[in-house]
Amino acid sequence: MNDDIAKQLRLDVLLCFAAYSASHAFSRFYRPLLDELGLTYPQFIVMMVLWEHQRITMKALADQVMLESNTLTPLLKKLEALELITRSRNRDDERVLDIEVTKAGMAMKLDGQRAALALAEATGETLEGMLDLQQRLVKARENVARHVEKAA
Amino acid sequence: MNDDIAKQLRLDVLLCFAAYSASHAFSRFYRPLLDELGLTYPQFIVMMVLWEHQRITMKALADQVMLESNTLTPLLKKLEALELITRSRNRDDERVLDIEVTKAGMAMKLDGQRAALALAEATGETLEGMLDLQQRLVKARENVARHVEKAA
DNA sequence: GCTGATTAGATCGCATACGATCTAATCAGC
DNA sequence: GCTGATTAGATCGTATGCGATCTAATCAGC
């Protein structure tokens, strides 16, 4: 390993820590807004998908939010207990779980979008700057994820 | 709210989800590398700070990794049980907890840096591109964090 | 149409995050 | 030098993430 590079390898210059700490900071920003809706941040992320699709299989939902059944099953059961979604087995394929947003769930859409916009404004970025940042971060994520798959 | 903007408010364009999902993807990339060291990703982040400082108060450590005592206390106790760090009360101020890395802890530094470099390479970014991305993400994080403080 | 492989979810255990709250030590200001 | 405020950590409860593993349903290929 190059010694000069090694000397520079500090937390405050690492992209991984920037993403890690930014994600936590964003979550803290959302908390008071989402508290009013009775949602946690991961629950909010799931609801974002449902506001778009109304009905979706758990598998497709898992792909979009990039979480697995071991995380999603308990989370979705909580959303069901809050009567924001319904969970039902698919008739054609009993393995599949269909998730559907309820009226109460859809009623939160506007407030949820307001929260997302509030964060966007709080970043201090322009719309273009934020989208550029977002796309580059997604590209880095996809590149890294490819390495994870290959290893598996 | 502008209707056109609202229609575009989907998970796949949100900076917050990009950071959230990228952070998870990075953590998944690290897992096999950190497994060999017997570390989790948050433990690795703490060790990164200790490789730089050797000795630091818990408060200063908490500031750097942006976590609080309720998260750090159990994590540090685990690192202590692994004999990678020591925890001791400060003589001058008994409230303060001094954290010091052990020889065994320092011995991991090179492998840890290798892991961080491996991720950096996996992102597919150039060194400059990555630093630019990192700095813009930190700036967004700082802007957002300022809003959280103001509200508190 | 049988059987091994695959797939979709669920369950369990461990390790974070973090709000709320507690304790002990130190500080501030009179 | 006393006392209320502040500070540094610790503890507890809830909600993720995720590896490992399990079950049930479907598919593949003969």
pLDDT for position A32: 96
Between the alpha carbon of residue B83 and those of residues A110, B32, B103, the distances in Å are 51, 21, 9
What are the backbone angles phi and psi of residue A10, rounded to the nearest 5°? -115, 155
A53 interface with B at CB cutoff 8 Å: no
Confirm whether any atom of chain D, the nucleic acid strand, is less than 7 Å from CB of A12: no
pLDDT for position A151: 67
Q: Is the pLDDT of residue B1 over 70?
A: no
Question: Looking at the partner chain, which of B29, B45, B140 has a beta carbon nearest the beta carbon of A17?
Answer: B45
Q: What is the DSSP letter of A88?
A: E
Stretch 55-94 of chain A: residues touching chain B, C-beta under 8 Å = 64-66
Q: What is the DSSP letter of B13?
A: G
Q: Is the pLDDT of residue B3 over 80?
A: no
Residue carrying structure tokens 């609202």: B6
CB-based contact A22:B138 (threshold 8 Å): yes
- Report CA(A135)–C1'(D11) in Å, whole number: 41
Stretch 107-136 of chain A: residues touching chain B, C-beta under 8 Å = 110, 113-114, 116-117, 119-120, 122-125, 129-131, 133-134, 136
- B97-147 pLDDT per residue, tens: 999 999 999 999 999 999 999 999 999 999 999 999 999 999 999 999 998
CB-based contact B100:B79 (threshold 8 Å): no
In angstroms, rounded to a whole number, what is the distance separating the alpha carbons of residues B131 and B25?
A: 19
In angstroms, rounded to a whole number, what is the distance separating the alpha carbons of residues A86 and A70?
A: 18
- B47-88 pLDDT per residue, tens: 999 999 999 999 999 999 999 999 999 999 999 999 999 999
Contact B28 A148 (CB under 8 A): yes
pLDDT category of residue B4 using cuts at 50, 70 and 90 = low
| Residues in a beta bridge with A89 | A97
Contact B133 A138 (CB under 8 A): no
pLDDT for position A8: 74
pLDDT for position A1: 56
Exposed, middle or buried: residue A27 (CB in 10 Å: 0-12, 13-18, 19+)? buried
pLDDT for position B149: 79
In angstroms, rounded to a whole number, what is the distance separating the alpha carbons of residues A145 and B129?
A: 19
Q: Report the percentage of chain A scoring pLDDT > 90.
A: 89
pLDDT for position A149: 78
Q: B14-50: b or e for each residue (b if 16 or more CB lie within 10 Å)? A: bbbbbbbbbbbbbbbbbeebbeebebbbebbbbbbbb
Could you list the pLDDT tens digit for every one of the 152 residues in chain A?
A: 556 666 678 999 999 999 999 999 999 999 999 999 999 999 999 999 999 999 999 999 999 999 999 999 999 999 999 999 999 999 999 999 999 999 999 999 999 999 999 999 999 999 999 999 999 999 999 999 998 877 66
Between the alpha carbon of residue B51 and those of residues A34, B79, B99, B116, the distances in Å are 38, 14, 12, 13
